[in-house]
A = this chain, B = another copy of it.
Amino acid sequence: MINIQLLLTGNELMSGDIVDSNSAMIAQELVLLGLSVRRKVAVSDDFDDLVDEISQMSKKADILIVNGGLGPTVDDLTAQALAKVSNTEIKEHPVALAHLKAWCEKRNYPLNGPNLKQAMLPEGCTIVTNSTGSAPGFMLSLNDCDIYCTPGVPRELATMLKDEILPRIENKFPNLSHHHVSRFHVFGIGESTLQKLVDEELPDWPEDIDLGFRASMPLLEIKLTTKSQHAQAIKQEWIDKIHHLLGDHLVGEINNKDRSFGDYLQELLLERKEKVTFAESCTGGILASSVTKVAGSSKVFDGSFVTYSNEMKHQLIGVREYTLVQHGAVSEQTVTEMANGALRKTHANWVVAVSGIAGPSGGTEEKPVGTVWLAWGSSAALKTCCLLIPAARHHFQHYVTAIGLDLIRRELIESAETPKYLIERSFTPKKVQ
């Protein structure tokens, strides 16, 4: 078994100011090669500690991934520590310098002293390209251990891992038992419910297909890893069984790149050459931004409304004053008029309108914090529901947004199912005397 170890460096990791998610990312990528992390160590930006750990770890590990400490500030000590351990000098590396120059030029940044520091690397090291950030990665071998020094910024690390480090590891160890992984997005069924469903409905789940979950709001990721050739042969059959079990709660397959709800929606709308709009109260712009964050969104979205106050609901999208007074801002009548108003003003084909009480204040006995009315669909067929989602403001806003997007997705795929959340979260506000 290849001994892979991680060394994480950074004061912010030790102070608790940030939670380390990089080591989980590295582990997840390695799993795809059938590899696992044996041990990880985290230390602060202390030169002697770094030198000590790198020295010790390189003696036992076949591969050591050092994460963090490549930046421009005095805190960033990885290169110096590597030089000390490998008994080499720090020198300006021409490839690193060229990268930094190009990086700064492209962004019109000055290539100043602190930036230049990032080109000062242990003599003889190999540059590991950082295609998304300024700090070059590098690799050197010591005590029969390949040491990869990687940036702490998650996005930069992710790209470097996929494009540079994993291929090198595969190249070095050509006999890795390749695990094959299929990943799917699920919405509206929680991890433990899903596990229970599988246990109960698919009791003869094959031993050589691992079923894993990864909670990532709002979409849950499920992962099938085949561990043998036999498993590979029967995989599709079990994917079909999972699909049957989950119905339209299974949103889509994740291929090379991660997809958001906005991506799925854009694909479906593009197919039909249709557009969507929103009338948002409690989600305050998050529905719109979920669609517009996807490149090319102008083909499926013209515009939308954030109508927070009653006055705006009336003035901008024509909710009647009578409706607001008689039924309140959080009511079926109001979201219906919001939806119709937004459709009328934008000529979109599809709409989601939401009005609810995100909290922490603003709840009443009749409509507690977490109450939300949604109206969705087309002008020909508008549907409504009232849900109770008693969660913290941030979670409430994002979960309601996800539900709104999912409801439109289900319209677009012409789903005949009732999603579980519409049943489980259903709420009927009762007039309090």
Contacts and interface: CB of A to CB of B under 8 A. Distances in A.
A255 interface: no
A361 B297 CA distance: 11
Nearest to A29: B16
A71 B306 contact: no
Contact of A393 (B11, B196, B295, B306): B295
24 contacts: A12-B214, A14-B36, A14-B37, A14-B40, A15-B28, A16-B31, A17-B212, A17-B221, A20-B20, A23-B42, A36-B44, A39-B42, A40-B41, A74-B195, A106-B390, A112-B193, A113-B196, A280-B288, A284-B288, A284-B292, A285-B292, A293-B397, A295-B360, A305-B305
Contact of A298 (B28, B308, B388): B308
Contacts of A345: 315-316
A112 B196 contact: yes
A10 to B, nearest CB: 9
A89 interface: no
A359 interface: yes
A75 interface: yes
A73 B390 contact: no
Given A36-B44, A297-B284, A304-B306, A71 B14 contact: no
Nearest to A310: B302
A66 B214 CA distance: 19
A21 B19 contact: yes
Nearest to A289: B285
Interface of A: 11-12, 14-21, 23-28, 31, 36-44, 49, 53, 71-75, 106-108, 112-115, 153, 191-193, 195-196, 212-215, 221, 223, 278, 280, 283-289, 291-293, 295-298, 301-309, 311-313, 315-316, 345-346, 358-362, 388, 390-391, 393-394, 397, 424
A383 to B, nearest CB: 22
Given A24-B19, A390-B106, A212 B75 contact: yes
Closest 10 CB pairs of A and B: A284-B292, A285-B288, A16-B27, A303-B312, A285-B289, A285-B285, A16-B28, A114-B192, A72-B192, A16-B24
Given A24-B16, A212-B11, A195 B393 contact: no
A288 B306 contact: yes
Given A42-B40, A312-B302, A286 B285 contact: yes
Given A298-B308, A303-B306, A390-B107, A38 B43 contact: yes
A345 B345 CA distance: 15
A31 B14 CA distance: 10
Given A23-B42, A303-B307, 14 more contacts: A14-B27, A16-B37, A17-B223, A73-B192, A114-B196, A283-B292, A284-B288, A284-B292, A285-B288, A285-B292, A295-B361, A298-B308, A302-B309, A302-B311
A388 B38 CA distance: 45
Interface centre among A74, A214, A278 (most CB of B within 10 A): A214
B308 A306 contact: no
B302 A195 contact: no
Grouping DSSP codes into helix (H, G, I), strand (E, B) and loop, the A interface class, with mixed when no group exceeds half, is mixed
A312 B75 contact: no
A16 B12 contact: no
Given A287-B285, A304-B285, A72 B191 contact: yes
Given A16-B26, A41-B39, A289-B284, A191 B295 contact: no
Contacts of A16: 23-28, 31, 37
Contacts of A19: 19-21, 24
Nearest to A300: B308
Contacts of A72: 191-192, 195
Given A44-B38, A214-B12, A424-B108, A297 B303 contact: no
